[in-house]
Amino acid sequence: MRTVIAAALLFVFPAGALAQDTMPIETIQSDGLDTLTGIWKFAFPSIRFQVSMPLMGRASGTYDMGNSFCRVTHEGGDAASVNCLGDMLGEGTATLEKKKLHIAWGSMMLRIFIDTKLENSAAFSGLFGFKLMGIQHDADAPVTGQRFTVAQGAPDSAGKAGLVSATLAQLAAGATITQNSTLAWQHLAEATNTSAEIAALGKPEAALYVGEGTSRLPPAKKGDPAPPPLLYSVYQVEFAGGQRLCAIRLGGDGALDGFLCV
């Protein structure tokens, strides 16, 4: 019965959820969603939970997302878009009512969220939790967010800026880039970028190294030690017509293993 429950939870949660650095900008006062736009790093605490599912009984586990680099954009309206690399539930939304910041991803079945009182637009600490079929589970430790700015000419510590630019040029010219390994497919994202999407952004003008991203991997079976995390390098890419946050991962043979821009 526990095996059935575990299978059901794996169907609902991102694959790696069950079980890197630059200088922050100066603090400024937040007075709207526009002040939140840019690149952020969220550090998610783990959540111990117990659930009871009809016909399946009770189960317990740990929801563990690790850290995510995210790009926040606001093109008008009452919500900003939050696109993250790693084990996320698609595009998220952020709303700001006075100083109350609410960020959420997911659906009615599973929704993960951040709630915090925003004192400035450079960093925050707040509540992280998820709602599974309407039942809320909160982390004991706070989630933290840190906004980043990367200066032109900053060192490319990962040494992959040229490869990021070349891969984007191939995509814009019509190539298809797939996640070659199962790990990259599961823990970067199922989706891939299309040629039309990248071409519409225009010529890449700069690929700036942000840091190293990680996705925590679950043990092969209960009782086994957790394997090393999946690692990938993160770049802020400035195009003639926009900005993207791109992750690139190389396999042990040095070949491209995973690539995604959000």
Look up the CATH number of the domain holding residue 61.
Answer: 2.40.128
Question: Is residue 153, in this structure, part of any structural domain at all?
Answer: no
Read off the pLDDT of each residue in 193-209 and give the average, rounded to a whole number: 93
**Better-scored residue on pLDDT, 45 or 134:** 45
My answer on whether 121 and 54 are in the same domain is: yes
Read off the pLDDT of each residue in 171-188 and give the average, rounded to a whole number: 69
pLDDT on residue 73: 93
Question: Is residue 155, in this structure, part of any structural domain at all?
Answer: no
pLDDT tens digits, residue range 99-109? 999 999 988 88
- Distance between CA 246 and CA 259 in Å, rounded? 7
Distance of CA 41 to the CA centre of its chain: 8
My answer on whether 64 and 98 are in the same domain is: yes
Question: Is residue 108, in this structure, part of any structural domain at all?
Answer: yes
My answer on whether 7 and 106 are in the same domain is: yes
My answer on whether 102 and 59 are in the same domain is: yes
My answer on whether 12 and 42 are in the same domain is: yes
Question: Is residue 156, in this structure, part of any structural domain at all?
Answer: no
Q: What 8-state DSSP symbol labels residue 240?
A: T
pLDDT on residue 17: 56
My answer on whether 11 and 141 are in the same domain is: yes
My answer on whether 116 and 25 are in the same domain is: yes
pLDDT tens digits, residue range 81-126? 999 987 677 789 999 998 999 999 988 888 999 999 998 889 999 9
- Distance between CA 79 and CA 92 in Å, rounded? 10
**Better-scored residue on pLDDT, 8 or 179:** 179
Contact assessment for residue 13 and residue 63, using Cβ atoms and an 8 Å cutoff: yes
**Better-scored residue on pLDDT, 196 or 89:** 196
pLDDT on residue 113: 95
Q: Which of 7-11, 182-186, 210-214 has the lowest mean pLDDT?
A: 7-11
Structural tokens at position 94: 């952020």
Alpha-carbon distances, residue 171 vs 112, 138, 242 (angstroms): 32, 40, 16
My answer on whether 204 and 80 are in the same domain is: no
**What are residue 255's DSSP bridge partners?**
none
My answer on whether 123 and 207 are in the same domain is: no
- Distance between CA 116 and CA 99 in Å, rounded? 8
pLDDT tens digits, residue range 5-31? 344 444 445 545 555 333 343 333 344
Structural tokens at position 196: 């039309």
Question: Is residue 154, in this structure, part of any structural domain at all?
Answer: no
pLDDT on residue 64: 77
- Domain termination residue (choose one: 148, 176, 205): 148
pLDDT on residue 228: 75
- Domain termination residue (choose one: 148, 178, 194): 148
My answer on whether 114 and 193 are in the same domain is: no
Mean pLDDT of the chain: 81
State the SS3 of 41-53. EEECCCEEEEEEE
My answer on whether 173 and 108 are in the same domain is: no
Q: Which of 12-16, 51-55, 169-173, 206-210 has the lowest mean pLDDT?
A: 12-16
The residue range of the domain holding 223 is 161-261
My answer on whether 138 and 181 are in the same domain is: no
Read off the pLDDT of each residue in 146-172 and give the average, rounded to a whole number: 91
Percent of the chain with pLDDT over 90: 41
| Number of structural domains found in the chain | 2
Contact assessment for residue 66 and residue 229, using Cβ atoms and an 8 Å cutoff: yes
- Domain termination residue (choose one: 123, 148, 173): 148
Task: Kindly report the pTM of this predicted structure.
Answer: 0.79
